[in-house]
Structure 1
Amino acid sequence: MVGKRQSRKAKTGEAKSSDQDFLTGKLLIAMPNMNDPRFEKSVILLVSHDRDHAMGVVINKPLADIELGDLLEQLSIDPRQGASGDPVFYGGPVQTDR
C-alpha cells in the first residue's frame, strides 16, 4: 500500500500550524470605506497578535499638538538626547477593558 503524498510545503517544512497564521509584524491598511475615525485612513503595524489578543501601532497619524519630549516630561521620564522633537503618533486601546 502506498502512503499518502505529502504536499510540497509539508516536505520542505513550510507547512504552517495554526499558531503561525497570526499577523505579528504585518501591516493593516484601512479600507477606503472605513468609517470608524479611529481607523479611517490608518496604516497599523501589528506588534503582537495571537489567539487571545492583538496590539498594533498606527504609523501614519502623527499628533500635531505634542512632541515626544513633552510627553515624556509629563510622564516624568527622562528623554534620550535628541528625542524632544520626535513625533508622537495617534493610538490607544480599542478595548479599554483589557
Structure 2
Amino acid sequence: MDIQGDSAFLGYHFSQECNHTIELYAEDCLGNSNYTSMKFHVDEKAPDINKTVGEPKMLPSVYEEGVDYWVTCETPIIINASDLGCCGVLENV
C-alpha cells in the first residue's frame, strides 16, 4: 500500500479469471472507520462465434481481401454467439 499524505493507494492484479470480491476497511488514528466491498468478474475467454451463409451465395472468382462470399438480398445469414461467462458459469453480470 502506498500512503501519500491523507490518501492511500493499493494496486491489485487478478491472476486468475472467475469471480472475485475485494473488501476494504480503513481506520484513522481517531478510530473513525469505513468499509466497502467490490465484486469483479474476470473473463479472459472470448465468445465463440459461428456464422452460416445460406443460398444463394457464390465464392469470389478471384481473391478479394475481406470478401468471403457474394450474396443477394434473399441470402439468409445466421450468426450465433455463445459465451460460458466467468469460470464456465453463465451468470447475469
* TM-score normalized with structure 2 length: 0.25
Greater RCO (CA < 8 Å, at least 6 residues apart) = 2
Q: Please identify which structure carries the higher strand content.
A: 2
Q: Which has the larger radius of gyration?
A: 2
Q: Please identify which structure carries the higher helix content.
A: 1
